[in-house]
Chains A and B, each alone.
Chain A
């Protein structure tokens, strides 16, 4: 099924100013799936996402979109196939939700072509889907963090790509808004078949919301696969240097990770001791 894979990394090495952060990453992102990239701070997960999105040039290796290197493809053509939501993006002062969302049409517009009825329609759909229609005339600065993130996701939607890359879409959001944003992404995935690749900090949310997990440590893939395969005590120890227990999430039936920490290890040991 190789021909079904739209986005693929081959022996990817990347970094900043001569410092190599990613070292030989090879990955395939299956269409219609939600993949989360997890790993500790400075493990290279954002670097990987930025290289996949063509923001960063790889030092070695290639990123392939439909079998072609994206770094040899026109940026506008890539932008019609792959959408990117960077980590904590900045909106210009005073811009309204509708104006921001409309910016997502940029790769579909010519230099001087005017705004079309179809552009308006796509923007209206994105606003409806993200529940932002009622707030469309509000200025971004006046919104809450969760609403702001919805507006940015709506912008990425108007780009009409079937691949969406998101760098920590839940940072700075409270837990209710984190769930809200992730639910929205699952909606998109189910309703439109959008392939989603995101970097997530929270292992448990990543396990709950993803079909596929990629755990990065020291710029290399430590393990990848289903949440059940990746979320084990030994992998968590290797990737995060953290002792943990993996239990079954009573809501989803999937795995969930309970960190132990220095102050509670005794009780945890005792608890497992009595059970075994």
Chain B
């Protein structure tokens, strides 16, 4: 009897979670379209569609193809990368504070990129490569410094926050000394921005999304089993260390490539997972966090361009959104432990 009575509850709960997940997808599509349509004055949707299809619409074609499409695409892929990379770390370390932007992996990628631009005078794909390798190196360093029996614990997060602060100060120092034109380019590494996005910035991130996102998707079930604890997971045929290695590699790859293209867009990796989990009641974590990441970047960029009295880069908007959330989480975590 009880089973019969409870069945409808389960179905509605699942349907609601399913609806919420697909709702996130719809919001992503809407924000993407909004970014294409709006600029200095809005172009009508049919004209935008025509321009996208390659037809020559006077005025609109240039705006859409050269300015807005790269911007929308870059926002979309970096948002997805940050969302996935963040939630993967949060699930793996069972702590919402453990996202790559809090524990210094984004900062590592950012500092290295600034170093490459300002000190080594590099540009283009090499900067991305340097950023990715440094992100990995920082991840390894945090791992090493916090190793011991409780690598998943608070120790890793504290070490990461310390490293993050150190790297941020290095970035600021290098920017103080930089040439004016380098500084403009390097400024994006402080907060993150999709201003002046170009299509050739989008492709490496998209490729990283396919490769590392695929790796993460292939590991998702093992990662889920790992939440039952290492021993139980091992009993179910999951190799805990190997799984953590794959997840770390995938998450660092995603975050570092996204950071290399758009800078460490503040708090997107950190916020996407927990917000998505709240909306979908904890189901379908990876896809909903990916969608939420895209929503934060697309929405934050739109707000920064049009909804606020001054034009701000997306990282400033998401940063303003994330800081109170971080505070709230730290206060709550002391009372009841994280829930991701």
* Chain A stretch 66-90: residues in CB contact (< 8 A) with chain B: 74-80, 82-86, 89-90
Cα-based distance from A85 to B218 in the complex (angstroms)? 26
* Chain B stretch 199-258: residues in CB contact (< 8 A) with chain A: 218, 221, 224-225, 227-232, 234-239
Cα-based distance from A111 to B218 in the complex (angstroms)? 6
**Cβ proximity bits A101-131 to B, threshold 8 Å, 1 near / 0 not:** 0011011010110000000000000000000
Cα-based distance from A136 to B4 in the complex (angstroms)? 11
Q: Is the CB–CB distance between A84 and B239 below 8 Å? A: no
What residue in chain B is nearest A165 (Cβ atoms)? B235
Q: Give chain B residues whose Cβ lies under 8 Å from the Cβ of A75.
A: 234, 237-239
Q: Is the CB–CB distance between B2 and A94 below 8 Å? A: no
Q: Give chain B residues whose Cβ lies under 8 Å from the Cβ of A65.
A: none
Q: Give chain A residues whose Cβ lies under 8 Å from the Cβ of B239.
A: 75
Determine which of B218, B225, B231 lies in contact with A106 in the assembled complex, contact meaning CB atoms within 8 Å: B225
Q: Is the CB–CB distance between B234 and A106 below 8 Å? A: no
Excluding A86-B229, A103-B236, A106-B236, 16 further A-B contacts by CB distance (< 8 Å) are A55-B231, A74-B237, A75-B234, A75-B239, A76-B237, A78-B237, A79-B236, A85-B232, A89-B229, A90-B229, A103-B224, A103-B228, A106-B237, A106-B238, A137-B10, A156-B235
**Cβ proximity bits A39-61 to B, threshold 8 Å, 1 near / 0 not:** 00000000000100111000000
Cα-based distance from A79 to B2 in the complex (angstroms)? 33
Most chain A CB neighbours (cut-off 10 Å) among B3, B218, B231, B234: B231
Most chain B CB neighbours (cut-off 10 Å) among A89, A93, A107, A136: A93
Cα-based distance from A196 to B166 in the complex (angstroms)? 54
Determine which of B9, B218, B234, B238 lies in contact with A53 in the assembled complex, contact meaning CB atoms within 8 Å: B234
Most chain B CB neighbours (cut-off 10 Å) among A50, A75, A134: A75
Residue A250 is within 8 A (CB to CB) of chain B in the complex = no
**Cβ proximity bits B304-340 to A, threshold 8 Å, 1 near / 0 not:** 0000000000000000000000000000000000010
Determine which of A78, A90, A94, A136 lies in contact with B282 in the assembled complex, contact meaning CB atoms within 8 Å: A94
Determine which of A80, A86, A100, A134 lies in contact with B237 in the assembled complex, contact meaning CB atoms within 8 Å: A80
Cα-based distance from A75 to B231 in the complex (angstroms)? 13
Residue B179 is within 8 A (CB to CB) of chain A in the complex = no
Q: Is the CB–CB distance between A89 and B228 below 8 Å? A: yes
Q: Count A-side interface residues using an 8 Å CB cutoff.
A: 37
Q: Is the CB–CB distance between A84 and B231 below 8 Å? A: yes
What residue in chain B is nearest A55 (Cβ atoms)? B234
Cα-based distance from A137 to B221 in the complex (angstroms)? 21
Question: Provided the pairs A55-B231, A133-B3 are in contact, do residues A93 and B236 lie with their beta carbons within 8 angstroms?
Answer: no
Q: Give chain A residues whose Cβ lies under 8 Å from the Cβ of B229.
A: 86, 89-90
Q: Give chain A residues whose Cβ lies under 8 Å from the Cβ of B230.
A: 55
Residue B6 is within 8 A (CB to CB) of chain A in the complex = yes
Question: Provided the pairs A94-B282, A137-B9, A137-B10 are in contact, do residues A107 and B231 lie with their beta carbons within 8 angstroms?
Answer: no
Cα-based distance from A93 to B281 in the complex (angstroms)? 12
Residue A253 is within 8 A (CB to CB) of chain B in the complex = no
Q: Is the CB–CB distance between A85 and B235 below 8 Å? A: yes
What residue in chain A is nearest B91 (Cβ atoms)? A92
Q: Give chain B residues whose Cβ lies under 8 Å from the Cβ of A78.
A: 237
Q: Give chain B residues whose Cβ lies under 8 Å from the Cβ of A79.
A: 235-237
What residue in chain A is nearest B336 (Cβ atoms)? A93
Residue A159 is within 8 A (CB to CB) of chain B in the complex = yes
Q: Give chain A residues whose Cβ lies under 8 Å from the Cβ of B10.
A: 137
A137 to chain B, nearest CB (A): 5
Residue A91 is within 8 A (CB to CB) of chain B in the complex = yes
Cα-based distance from A107 to B236 in the complex (angstroms)? 6
A60 to chain B, nearest CB (A): 20
Q: Give chain A residues whose Cβ lies under 8 Å from the Cβ of B238.
A: 75, 106
Q: Is the CB–CB distance between B235 and A92 below 8 Å? A: no
A-B contact pairs, 14 of them (CB 8 A): A53-B231, A74-B237, A79-B236, A82-B235, A89-B228, A94-B282, A103-B225, A103-B236, A104-B236, A107-B237, A112-B218, A134-B2, A134-B3, A159-B236
Q: Give chain A residues whose Cβ lies under 8 Å from the Cβ of B237.
A: 74-80, 106-107
Cα-based distance from A93 to B236 in the complex (angstroms)? 19
Cα-based distance from A50 to B234 in the complex (angstroms)? 10
Cα-based distance from A82 to B231 in the complex (angstroms)? 13
